[in-house]
Structure 1
Amino acid sequence: MNLFTQQFPNSNNFFLMAGPCAVESEEMAFHIAERVSVICRRLGINYIFKGSYRKANRTRLDSFTGIGDERALEILQKVGKSFSVPTVTDIHAANEADMAAAYVDVLQIPAFLCRQTDILVAAAKTGKVVNVKKGQFLSPDAMQFAVDKIRQSGNDQVILTDRGTTFGYQDLVVDYRSFPIMKAMGVPAVMDCTHSLQQPNQTSGVTGGNPAMIETIARAAIAVGADGLFIETHPDPKNAKSDGANMLHLDALEPLLEKLVVLRRAVNEIGS
């Protein structure tokens, strides 16, 4: 299946990967998916539901990691079928690729693992779309090697997502030159509007964030020609079990997307 030619008819608009950081429950996943899918249909935005079935990269041992792999993956599959949307989830090791691919449409490679050849190859060989997060420690040019590994493994369905670059010890910055550089590789380039605002390595062991800047990051990404946006959203970010500090409140998503659709039209008129 080629996600972008068979399931994404609104090619003149950006696409959206959105959902909770982690799958917390079926009720929560369905609540978010229903709200976002209705908004995206109205605005002509192609939508991919996002949810991590397990959080492997946690700062503290007592941090929430998931509700169980099989249960979370079953919820993702059920969301996809119920709302007729593709789904995306992270994998953390090569032996997880086939397992996750049985339930979702897009396999996501976390930023810290974007150079791990065995994971990239295993994801590619499933035949699913592979979304690779750009490492916080890499230049956008270096992502060509991740793209090459996937293509040389027989899979041409690649997405690259920028999630900011390490700046000092507890902050990230976004270099918008990444988008023309990564798009020149012949792949869709996505802006992760929420993880790029993380404030990692806090002394509390809980990652901070700056969600007030999500709109700024998103608007700039659309202005420079990003093909898609990645936004983690939750109806109650303060009580989310993972990454609540940088998630967008679900109620704020629709007005943000309305502005971004207008901006995308303007970009299309002048050319990106």
Structure 2
Amino acid sequence: MKNFLADLFSNQSYNKNNFFLIAGPCVVESKDLVFEIAETVSGLCRKLEIPYVFKASYRKANRTSANSFTGLGDISGLEIIKSVGTQFQLPTTSDIHAHEEAAIAAEYIDILQIPAFLCRQTDLLEAAAQTGKIVNVKKGQFLSGPSMKFAAEKIANMGNDKIMLTDRGNTFGYQDLVVDYRNITWMREIGYPVIMDCTHSLQQPNQTGGVTGGNPQLIGTISKAAIATGAEGLFIETHPNPAVAKSDGANMLQLNLLEDLLYQLVEIRYAVAKQYS
């Protein structure tokens, strides 16, 4: 595990051979919801010795429809995320969409996440790097794994080597994505921890109704294959009732299904740990 990740998880008890998990709801819908999810997931991760980062977006800027829910307000959302981290002693993350957001968000969260569509946005990457926070860059749906070295270089050139790279599939036609697991190997060769986004890689974007579809029943398939091919971390959005979620409900794993999946993933990780250590 990279030194900056060891520092990030220094107050958690975990198995050093385990993967780490980034999980939470798509967006901050309410304080009660995010606390319910954080309490459940953190309990599971403690039991299974999985290092855990709580994730929720304080604002969803990249919605298909202008009528979609975008958040409770930036500062309100960030304050709720920070309160989760404080209450459950967890590192936290959220995505930012413009360079001026980086310094503001960095006051509340531990990892700045760069959305896939913005992974080549130089001013955004540089602003995130300058905060000194960990920067997690999602690979664009239009990019290959090896090309992510250029995004990483933009951050590293600002004197920040606390970088993570996340795969979230590649565009396949107009309304689907596919995962090329070669990209996990190729991005690992760049030299930074690699994460598989098991939620958004199953999106079915550009639906005519203005709401993105998805295949959450395949989250297990995507995550198991990612662990087997060397991903150090998994990104899974989860919700107690995805059918009523205010954002990306079609992609999220129902919260009560997470425990069984994590047990399976831990077994796979232990089986392959020596190969990727």
Alignment pair present for 1:112 and 2:117: yes
Distance across 1 between alignment mates of 2:58 and 2:64: 17
Question: Does the residue aligned with 1:206 lie in a helix, a strand or coil?
Answer: coil
Distance across 2 between alignment mates of 1:63 and 1:268: 41
Alignment pair present for 1:189 and 2:194: yes
- 2:59 maps to what in 1? 54
- 2:49 maps to what in 1? 44
Distance across 2 between alignment mates of 1:55 and 1:64: 8
Question: Does the residue aligned with 2:208 lie in a helix, a strand or coil?
Answer: coil
* CA displacement at 1:151 relative to structure 2: 0.4
> Pairwise mapping of residues 206-225 of structure 1 onto structure 2 (< 5 A)?
206-225=211-230
The partner residue of 2:78 within 63, 73, 80 is: 73
Amino acid at match of 2:152: V
* CA displacement at 1:10 relative to structure 2: 3.5
Distance across 2 between alignment mates of 1:206 and 1:114: 23
- 1:154 maps to what in 2? 159
Amino acid at match of 1:33: A
The partner residue of 1:3 within 2, 5, 17 is: 5
The partner residue of 1:141 within 137, 142, 146 is: 146
* CA displacement at 1:3 relative to structure 2: 3.4
Amino acid at match of 2:231: A
C-alpha change, 1:63 and 1:271, in structure 2 (3 Å) is closer
Question: How many aligned residue pairs are there?
Answer: 272
* CA displacement at 1:4 relative to structure 2: 3.0
Amino acid at match of 1:4: A
- 1:21 maps to what in 2? 26
Alignment pair present for 1:83 and 2:99: no
* CA displacement at 1:179 relative to structure 2: 0.9
- 2:130 maps to what in 1? 125
Amino acid at match of 1:53: Y
Distance across 2 between alignment mates of 1:270 and 1:149: 30
C-alpha change, 1:144 and 1:31, in structure 2 (3 Å) is same
> Pairwise mapping of residues 221-232 of structure 1 onto structure 2 (< 5 A)?
221-232=226-237
Distance across 2 between alignment mates of 1:138 and 1:225: 20
Distance across 1 between alignment mates of 2:7 and 2:69: 37
* CA displacement at 1:12 relative to structure 2: 1.1
Distance across 1 between alignment mates of 2:40 and 2:86: 16
* CA displacement at 1:5 relative to structure 2: 3.7
For structure 1, the 5+ residue unaligned runs are none
Ranges of 4+ aligned residues in structure 1 off by more than 4 Å? 269-272
Question: Does the residue aligned with 1:256 lie in a helix, a strand or coil?
Answer: helix
For structure 2, the 5+ residue unaligned runs are none
Give the TM-score of the pair, scaled to structure 1. Answer: 0.98
Residues 218-271 of structure 1, C-alpha deviation per residue, up to 9 Å, x if partnerless? Answer: 000000010000000000100000000010000000100000000101112455
Amino acid at match of 1:260: L
Distance across 1 between alignment mates of 2:15 and 2:161: 21
Distance across 1 between alignment mates of 2:32 and 2:168: 28
* CA displacement at 1:6 relative to structure 2: 4.9
Question: Does the residue aligned with 1:264 lie in a helix, a strand or coil?
Answer: helix
* CA displacement at 1:206 relative to structure 2: 0.5
* CA displacement at 1:186 relative to structure 2: 1.1
Give me the identity figure in percent. Answer: 64
Distance across 1 between alignment mates of 2:8 and 2:98: 29
* CA displacement at 1:185 relative to structure 2: 1.1
